[in-house]
Structure 1
Amino acid sequence: MSVLAVADLHKSFGGVRAVSGVSFAVAPGEMLALIGPNGAGKSTCFNMLNGQLRPDGGRIALDGQDITGLAPRRVWRRGVGRTFQITATFASMTVRENVQVALLSHHRRIWRFWQPTSALFAAEADALLDQVGMEAQADRAAGVLAYGDLKRLELAVALANAPRLLLMDEPTAGMAPAERVALMQLTRDLTRRQHIAVLFTEHDMDVVFGVADRILVLNRGELIAEGDAAAIRADARVRAVYLGSGATSGGH
């Protein structure tokens, strides 16, 4: 069974169709890339999956259960993690404390963090930091981390929810080329071992073609192509609307 199954998803803003009849599925351990030119509908699609936008039509199922239109927190509780283009961490907290906050929320004990119980889930936090290569920096303030390390911390925070599905919106934005490849290879290794389904948008086609198992291409809200890297590279329509245009940035 697919972890995520999307059927005939629609969303309009006024008279503009942002997403129109989009259907796809993501399997456990699979990395599925969602690409397309500016205005293709990628972020709108992501925000519906995450619960930030309610679809006008269609169905979103997680492990066979309908989650269409659920609020973001309820979607998160069902096992959907997300990373963002701009890192969302607590700068004044340590690296370990950032992960602890996520763990406390996952275990429904977030209210205790502000009491003298900061040792709660410390070992579990360190184990997650070790998975992303950040355990040695556990006691540093998040606000002093290099940008690439912040992205690794954000990944650890996302994994604290033990997600079945991980949504990554432009995960390598702002990173140096070598850091981009390293982060996405790390993500691929972790999610395959843990059988987590991953859906990500990305502007760097070297990253997309290097790590994605399959690629979806959106244009003007419609799914115009689906396949592996070779099939997408060879698709005449994709070259015409995206790859052949010289575009290097995925749109929203």
Structure 2
Amino acid sequence: MTRMVLVVMLILFSISSVNFVDSLQESLGKFLGVFGAKQQVRISELLNQLCNQSQGSNLTIRDACYGCFYRASILPQGYSMLVAMSTCANTYLNNTSYGHCQAYLQNMTSMPDARSPTIIYCSFLECIRQVNKNSLLRECVREASTVFPNIKNTYINLTNTQLVQIFINTTTCVLAKIRCSYVNPVTGELQDSDIVNKLHLPSLNALLVNTDYDISIVQLPFRSGSVDVCTKYRNVEQATWPSVVC
């Protein structure tokens, strides 16, 4: 166990800015094969989450949505796969909160583009994750605000103490739902079989904001290694602030 802690410390000191979306399992899993063989990132679970969130309570349509995206996702990577995914998006995502993701994919597959299919594919998946994160943040802001029953549509009349409490409550909500939910609300990943849960290891989550002001979750200890082809396209620079000079 001491060696494991040492490895984690060395990795943390060797990386100046750690920001990989949703958890370190998708970004740094490649460094640690400690708990088993590398696995492909679980795109199928993200697509299942996509259909659950976009199709409402109609199980038949949700299943059809997932089946369409899943069949497209297992095609050889290239424009044929993107076209198939775009067809699914046009059928199931139009007029949903993922509509701009559908529009992006449709535009990218309807005209020749110099960008690689992998970049387009990763941008589409990242768009899905971003919608999920925004939904989680809105949900937690609403829940955090319930401690002040008189709040309506503005926070202008809150005291300094109340503003601080809303921030603390929102942050706590986001981290707890990422850490403890049976299904990760951003990636759709099932978390019950995770090695961390099996060994009852303590889990520590932290928020990180990149220069696009996109919130990501950094999670320790590391989860079972997954290789995410999209990691290298993500913004890994930490956000700055006008009044702060590093």
- Please report the TM-score for the alignment, with normalisation by the length of structure 2: 0.29
Q: Which has the higher contact order (CA 8 A, sep 6+)?
A: 2
Kindly indicate which of the two structures has a greater share of residues assigned to helix.
2
Kindly indicate which of the two structures has a greater share of residues assigned to strand.
1
- Please report the TM-score for the alignment, with normalisation by the length of structure 1: 0.29
Higher Cα Rg: structure 1 or 2? 2
